[in-house]
Chains A and B, each alone.
Chain A
Amino acid sequence: EPEVTQTPSHQVTQMGQEVILRCVPISNHLYFYWYRQILGQKVEFLVSFYNNEISEKSEIFDDQFSVERPDGSNFTLKIRSTKLEDSAMYFCASSESSGGSYNEQFFGPGTRLTVL
């Protein structure tokens, strides 16, 4: 069964460093998403991406975040200068389509980011 994969499973970084979290969505899916979950808090939407553009983003997704689909398979989330409060589990998701009618989002296992 096709699934969303994410690497690495755990990333430890120093405050101020750049990190790139990687995701491989399901191959025929067209919409991609990033969510995060700070320990003990809700899963929060960060950004959605379609046709090489951001289609929607939350207020959390500020200038220190960026997303990219560098090739036909990977979808990345970059945090330019990490802060302690960026420590969280980051989930990638993909769906066949979005809007118009409901389409299920399929989630990856997450990357746990620890900023020291």
Chain B
Amino acid sequence: AQSVTQLDSQVPVFEEAPVELRCNYSSSVSVYLFWYVQYPNQGLQLLLKYLSGSTLVKGINGFEAEFNKSQTSFHLRKPSVHISDTAEYFCAVTTKGGSYIPTFGRGTSLIVHP
């Protein structure tokens, strides 16, 4: 079985500062990795995904994440955040060849201050 750990429950940051949201996973087989974002009163929206190929994945709204197999990490980064990036961010993992039901982390609340 796979699992996901999001190390920070809350990350406060000032506008235009860089941010990194951390995610580590555990799995005995090859994985697909995802970041979802949930804006207030909205559903989960796929931010980016790693399926194969380049380990640096670019997503929407200027976010990117890097798959590091040796460290079993998939940290999310943005070089300069905006107030509108304030949201809950969920890392998720699913195993290749299965039913593709994602296993989610607990979420990280990104709070961008002016």
Contact = CB atoms under 8 A, between A and B. Distances in A.
Contacts of B99: 48, 55-56, 98-99
Contacts of A104: 46, 49
Contact of A102 (B32, B36, B106): B32
B43 A107 contact: yes
A114 to B, nearest CB: 16
B101 A91 contact: no
A42 B101 contact: no
B57 interface: no
Q: How large is the interface on B (under 10, 10 to 19, 20 to 34, 35 or more residues)?
A: 20 to 34
A42 B44 CA distance: 13
Contacts of A93: 44
B26 interface: no
Interface string A75-116: 000000000000000010100001100111111111000000
Interface residues of A, number: 28
A65 interface: no
Interface string B40-66: 011111100101000000000000000
Interface in A30-55: 33, 35, 40-45, 48, 55
A6 B32 CA distance: 27
The 7 closest A-B pairs by CB, nearest first: A107-B44, A43-B104, A107-B43, A109-B43, A108-B43, A42-B106, A45-B101
Interface of A: 3-4, 6, 9, 33, 35, 40-45, 48, 55-56, 91, 93, 98-99, 102-110
